[in-house]
Amino acid sequence: MAPFPDEVDVFTGPHWRMKQLVGLYCEKLSQTNFSNNNDFRSFLQSLCATFKEFKMHEQIENEYIIGLLQQRSCNVYNVHSDNKLSEMLSLFEKGLRSVKSSSGCAGWRLYQNMAKMFKCS
């Protein structure tokens, strides 16, 4: 019987997924009509779902992976934090609750902040 490997790569798949999502939102930013309520609402719903996934990813890293790394290295301390994910998620959820027909300004602000956050051109 082959020996069980010392380490399993738990980083490549999840981090590839996070990069994939960031790329997806760079594309969605240019395709979303922020002055159209249906487009804006759909974009916000998608962002809420994605940021919940981001937050879950960070929680898993904090709870399981970082602990293992800390055991191996005294230098690793509080490497990952919520990184404003909760704040952003709250803003998206508030936006969903308050989308109105005259929300073009809110859509434009969201576009600017998301482009800056994801470093999209």
**Mean pLDDT in residue range 105-113:** 76
Q: How far does CA 88 lie from the centroid of its chain? A: 9
Domains along the chain?
A: 38-117 (1.20.120.520)
The contacts of residue 58 (CB under 8 Å, 6+ apart) are 80, 81, 82, 83, 85
Dihedral sign from CA coordinates of 40, 42, 47, 52: positive
pLDDT digits (tens, 9 = 90+) for 93-106: 887 877 765 556 77
CA dihedral 57, 62, 67, 70 (to 10 degrees): 110
pLDDT digits (tens, 9 = 90+) for 35-94: 899 999 999 999 898 889 888 888 888 887 777 766 766 544 444 555 667 777 888 888
